[in-house]
Every structure is written in C-alpha cells, then in structure tokens.
A and B are shown apart, each in its own frame.
Chain A
Amino acid sequence: MSKGHTVDRIVASIARRRARETRLKWAGFMAVAVTLALLALLLGSIVALGWRAFQQTYLALDVYFDPQVIAPDGRLDEESLRQADYESLVRQALRELFPQVEGRTQQRMLYRLVSSGGADYLSHMVLADPRLIGTRQRVWLPASSDVDMFAKGQTGAQRAASLQPWIDHLLAQGRIEKRFNKTFFTAGDSREPELAGILGALSGSFYTIGLTLLLSFPLGVAAAVYLEEFAPKKNFWVDLIEVNINNLAAVPSIVFGLLGLAVFLNAFALPRSTPLVGALVLTLMTLPTIIITSRVSLQAVPPWIREAALGVGASKMQMVLHHVLPLALPGMLTGAIIGTARALGETAPLLMIGMVAFIVDIPRGLLDPATVLPVQIYLWADSAERGFVERAAAAILVLLVFMLLMNALAIFLRRHFERRW
C-alpha cells in the first residue's frame, strides 16, 4: 500500500522541502548578488573615470610682467589693467622656454600647451597686486585639456601627440605638476574642459530643489491632511480626486515640462531658464508622491490617538495639529525628501522650460538663469572635447553625493522623530 502513515509521508518529503527551501534561499541570494554586482560595476566605472577630473595638470612658466604690455601708456587704473593683453605674456613666456620653435604654425601649436584661461589667471594676479608689474615670476598656469589628457595617461590622443616632445621637456624640468582641481568646484560652465566647473549647476540644483521642497511639502501635507482627516468618506468627488492623484504620480515627467511651458512661461510670463520655474514644474511632479506618502503616514497613526484627543475635548483641528500631525511628520518628511531626491535627477521636464542651456555665471538667486546637475552632465557628455568625458563622470559623482546626503537626511529625520506604539 502506498498509503502509509501521515508521519512517514511527511518524513519522506522533508528532504524535498529542505531542498526547495535552499533553492529559494539561493535564488534570493543570487538576485541580491547580481544587483550588487551591477551597482558596483556602475559605480566602479564612474569612479574610475571621474576621479581623474579631480586633478588638473599645471605648467610652470616664468612670466615676465612686461610693463610695456600691461600698461603701455603708463596708466595703472583697474580698467586699463583689466584690458591688457595678458595672452601675449603667456606666449612670450612659452617662446622663451622653447626658443627653437619657429614659424607661425609651430608657434601656434606651442601656444596650445597652456589653457586659454591662463591669461585670466595672470590678469587676476596683477589686479590683486599691481606691484608684480615689471617683475619675473614663476607662475603655475592650468595646462590645456590636450596636455591634461596626455599627462593623465590618455595616450594615443593624437592632438597631444604632436605636443609630446615639448611635454617631455617640461616634465624633465619639473614644470608639470598634477594638482587638486579647485576650478572644478569653484567655476561655472565653460567650453574648455580645464576651465569648466560644477558650482553653477550645483547652486542651480540647490535653489531649484530647495524651493521645490519649500513649495511641495506644505502643499502636499495640507492636501493629505484634508483628504485623510476632513474630506467626507465615500463621496464621488473625493474619490475622483484620489484616483487623479494616483494617476498623476505615474505621469511621465516630460508632460509636466510641457505643462510648465504652457502655464508658467506662456500664461504667467515667468522668466525662462530660472530655478523659480524649474522648482514650480518639479513641485507639480513631486506633489502626487508627497500626497500619497503623507496619507499613508497619516493612516499609520493609530485611531485611538484621534479618539483619545477628541474624548478629552479637543477640537478636530487641535486633534490634527497637536496629535496626529506630529506623529505622522517623520514619515511625511521622508516621503518629501525621497520625492525631491527624485526631482533632483530630472532633466526631461527642465528641457521644456529652457534649463538645458550654456550658462557661465553662477546663479545667485531664484531669478538668475541656471541649469542643474543632471543637465550639466548631459551637456558635458554631449561635448566633442575629450576632457569632458571625465568631467561628466565627476559631475555624476557630485550628483550622487548630493542625493546620498538628502537620503541620509531622510533617514536621520525618520530615526530622530519616529515613535513606536
């Protein structure tokens, strides 16, 4: 008889069930391992590429601050000092260093060693201290991107290969040095990789996301409180609103950009490319997420808190403001921060409102034209110059750190304010 005791059948199946359990455990483990490996691959490739941008090659030149060039008419006021031809000082120094280079084409190649920002550097030096005029100084100037790429071992770069004998000469004299790339953190965008910085995009992101949080959090919380605590239940209109909010959360972000273009730019005539408009569009985008998470946190507050408050004679408003809201706040804050962290990585809606633009000046307020970090990454990745490849990767690192900080803040707030029942 195959029909033995139940115990026998169970014992017989134990091995099979154990094997199944192990398989499930392993499948789960593999899934986690694959995810981690992919993440490590992604981060690894970005870090491997991006860390190079934190260093920049500098060249030492013995620059003679020729009074004949800086102030030919002897005027030393700021305006004439600013307009002097510092480029020719750099060129003069290069020619002195390589006296054997002759002919226009060859000399033009030679001038390519130093970044076009070198002249500005000298101009700043002279403006800060006019006593430099007439002296000879050893100045470290940023190397051009071609030299920088070459010095970082991106060999095979043909553009730099023709410069190689000169670079070797400079290396032998100890005139080439890799230094921390301060420019990357203090400058705005530039067409020259060696002069481009992230600060413009970073402050653009800061203003945009800051305002997004300021606008979307109160609005989202207020909407959630109304829908959860005050709105009549089982009402057709309330249901309709609910369905729409849930749908809005799933709308592709570019649609919000189009809406922003039509409403904020065309109807309200707000200025294009500004953090103000960017924040308004991103607010629209994050609102549904914040409303939904806020409602969930309100639902998580046990009903007896409300009943107890009402029971001791609190008004409905006191009940909500004094008891329910403080308890739900940590969850709401977490939702809001995660929602805005997502908004931080958006480019699509900003495309429509003109934030995908070349902006050199660092924005100083909500009404200055600005761009944001993901847009800056896109613009650099789209540039022909090779030096921008590593800059784009470095910008990704900065964006990731920004996001990490926001998420850490969310975790901190939740831990700090959370209460358990």
Chain B
Amino acid sequence: MRILPLFVLLGSLFLSAQAQGRDYIYVVGSSTVYPFTTLVAERFAKSTRFPAPKVESTGTGGGMKLFCEGIGVQHPDIENASRRIKPSEFETCQRNGVKEIVEIKIGYDGIVLAHSRQSPPWKNLALRQVWLALAKQVPDPKGGDKLIPNPYRKWRDIDPNLPDLAIKVYGPPPTSGTRDAFAELALEGGCSNFPWIKALKEKDEARFKEICHTVREDGAYIEAGENDTLIVRKLEADPSALGVFGYSFQEQNSDLIAGAPIEGIEPSFENIAAGAYPISRPLYIYAKKAHVGVIPGLPEFLDEYTSEKAWGEEGYLADKGLIPLPKKERETYRKTAKELTPLKSL
C-alpha cells in the first residue's frame, strides 16, 4: 500500500515526540506580567545563544495549576503571577514534588481609573466613592447598619463635588487578576471607610468580602473582557465613562486617556513607585529550582530579568510601564535569583 509509509511516519512522529526533550524555557501565567516577561524573553534570545523562551498567557490561577503539576520537561519552568502564590497553591506544588520554588518580585503595577481626554479631567476620586459607585449593596444613606441596593445613578448623587455624569465603568471580569487586585485594593479600601463594615472583617470575613467585593449588576459596571485595549477603545467612544485597567495601558495611550487621581494622588510612575498611589500591587515570577541544569539558560534568563538594564529605574521594562522596585529590594531579589534561594513557606 502506498499509504503505509505515511502511517509509519506518523507513528514515528508520535514516538519521537514523547522522547523529545526541551531546549527552550517555558513560561506560563498572568496576562499582566506577560508583556514584561515576553520583552525579557526577546532580549534574552537576542543577546545570548539560547533559543527564545515560550511565554503563554494563561492567567495567574491557570498558570499556577500548570506550574504546580510537577517536575519535568513537559511542565513549565517559570510562572508569571500578578499576585503572590497562595498557600493552597504552594501546598499543591509541594505535594506534586515541586519543592523548591524561587520567588522573585519584579516590580509594581498600578491599576488606574481612567477616562477619555475628551472629557474634563476628574479632580479627585476617593476609594469610598469608588466603592459606593460600584458596590451591589451600599449602606443606607439615611444612616444605620442597613444595606440597600445601590441607589446611585450619577456620580453627583454620591458627592456633590463629583461630576454630573451617569456612573458607567468598564472593567475586567471576575476571572481576571486585575479584577482581584481592584476588588482587594480599591473596593475593600473603599468599604473599610464604614466602621461597621470594617468591624465585620474580624468577625465574619466571608460576609465582609461579600459586601465589599460584590459589584453591582444593573449595568453601571460593564465587564469588558480581559482585553484592556478594548476598554481603551470603549473610553474613546464614550467619553463620559471610566475604565479600569493596568498602568501600562495608561502609559502607552496617554494621549487618549487620563487617569483620575485617587485619594488626591495622580497615577504617575513616580507615585506608584513611591507606594503613594493607593491601587498598586506587586508582580512576581516563580521559578523551579529543579529545572536548573535541565533546561538550558534558566539561570541566565533570571539573570537577565533581574539586571539593571531590564528592571532598573531606566531599564527597558520601565519603558513598557513596569514600576521598578526600590533599589534595596532589587538588590535582595537579585541575590535570590543568583543564589536560587527557594521559598521556605508562606
């Protein structure tokens, strides 16, 4: 049969595929860290003899699952994370034999509430106002510890100093790491302004989270998908709306959109780097120590990532919107990367 060689070929393909090793670094994880890791990957491939790493954008949670599945060439070497590894994920890793994980904090990312430059600039937004505008249930404005469905339609209803615009905010869906961070930093920060809700945090954390993190579903908060570019476009088309996304998008599109000052602080590079801007979060990468020596170039890649020309104040990552760590922290984490000091526990 003439077809026979084809089957032999396919069969051998399968076998060879299984036996094959891997000579490139394999990274998974957060879509927020993706633009930074890919840039390092590209520079790394250009300046060394190693092949270019493969970077998958799976989201932090999805990446952790892949990362913690085990040791071996079919599993990723590095995880991008827009939050710290959770104790449960750390345990899963340990259980699956991923014992030694090197944690490197790479910098900060700010979350901005931005609007189109066509509309007049926002003078200030307090976190309390952000929460009142977006929560599903808010404390009764008449007073007391009662929650009522969010009655606010316009920003002016919340505070007479705010603009006379309908509340309309485009933001990421619950599956996104940006949304997690936004809920934790902005919404929780806002609802903690109410003493009785804040008191709940100790007594009944689940209820506290429910009150603070639940976003209204009556159309004022519009889930615009994980695509931040899309939110930027929506803001262009709809100048009265606000959008929630990462600082790097604000930086790249600063001619079209402007970030609203939060608690009186502008979302600028300097303010986020100094830790003054209230909605900012650290970004991490996690590496498997067991893969060093198995996958060529892994220590060199971490070295490139933690070099001053990459993550320094004037490095190429800063050009793309990553907010660098303070000098001291950079030195600490560079040492961690060099010595591959594993994470002991959380």
Query: Which A residues contact B (CB, under 8 angstroms)?
Result: 83, 108, 116, 120, 156-159, 161, 190-192, 214, 218, 268-274, 276, 354, 356-361, 366-367, 369, 379, 381-386, 389
Contacts and interface: CB of A to CB of B under 8 A. Distances in A.
Contacts of B31: 382
Given A83-B47, A191-B39, 17 more contacts: A159-B254, A190-B42, A191-B35, A214-B6, A218-B3, A268-B14, A269-B18, A276-B17, A357-B54, A358-B38, A359-B52, A359-B54, A360-B41, A361-B45, A367-B16, A383-B229, A389-B229
B20 A271 contact: yes
B227 to A, nearest CB: 5
10 contacts: A269-B18, A269-B74, A270-B14, A270-B17, A272-B74, A356-B56, A357-B56, A360-B42, A360-B45, A382-B31
B119 to A, nearest CB: 16
Contacts of B56: 273, 354, 356-358
A191 B321 CA distance: 13
Main secondary structure of the interface of A (DSSP, over half): loop
A273 to B, nearest CB: 6
B228 A158 contact: no
A383 B74 CA distance: 28
User: Which residue, A116, A274, A357, has most C-beta atoms of chain B within 10 A?
Assistant: A357
Closest 10 CB pairs of A and B: A158-B255, A360-B52, A358-B55, A384-B252, A358-B38, A357-B56, A191-B39, A369-B54, A384-B249, A361-B52
Given A357-B56, A358-B41, A360-B42, A384 B229 contact: yes
B34 interface: yes
B34 A366 contact: no
Nearest to A119: B46
A148 to B, nearest CB: 14
B341 interface: no
Interface string B238-256: 0000000000110111111
A384 B52 CA distance: 22
B17 A386 contact: no
Interface in B108-153: none
A167 B222 CA distance: 40
Contacts of B229: 381-384, 389
Contacts of B268: none
B24 interface: yes
Contacts of A379: 57
Contacts of B52: 359-361
A231 B334 CA distance: 68
A361 B19 CA distance: 22
A357 B18 contact: no
B314 interface: yes
Interface string B251-276: 11111100000000000000000000
Interface in B2-45: 3, 6, 13-14, 16-18, 20, 22, 24, 26, 31, 34-35, 38-39, 41-42, 45
A269 B20 CA distance: 11
A384 B54 contact: no
Given A357-B54, A385-B252, A108 B3 contact: no
Interface string B57-83: 100000000000000001000000000
B54 A191 contact: no
B9 to A, nearest CB: 10
A270 B18 CA distance: 6
A63 B228 CA distance: 39
B155 to A, nearest CB: 26
B90 interface: no
B51 interface: yes
A352 B240 CA distance: 37
